[in-house]
């Protein structure tokens, strides 16, 4: 599930990078909805992690932080 989410995010990033900059001068609303929707899914993943006694990746301590 995490790998699929990461692929979906990568696909969205690729689409954003391929979109001409002048298109964003008109409106960014469609992308705001995409970001909000992705945030909702991430929130669900956090709940799944916690319910299964795991720590979500962004909440883990690492040497790089």
pLDDT in tens, 12-53: 889 888 888 887 778 877 778 888 998 999 999 999 999 999
Residue 7 has pLDDT above 70, yes or no: yes
Q: Tokens 């409106």 correspond to what residue?
A: 27
- Kindly indicate the confidence band of residue 6, based on its pLDDT and cuts at 50, 70 and 90: very high
pTM above threshold 0.85: no
Residue 64 has pLDDT above 60, yes or no: no
Cα–Cα distances in angstroms (integers) from residue 42 to residues 5, 16, 21, 26, 58, in the given order: 8, 19, 27, 28, 11
């Amino acid at each position: 599930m995490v790998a699929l989410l990461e692929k979906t995010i990568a696909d969205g990033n690729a689409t954003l990078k391929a979109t001409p900059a002048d298109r964003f001068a008109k409106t960014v609303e469609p992308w705001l909805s995409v970001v909000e929707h992705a945030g909702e899914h991430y929130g669900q993943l956090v709940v799944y992690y916690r319910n299964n006694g795991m720590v979500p990746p962004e909440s883990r301590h690492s040497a790089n932080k």
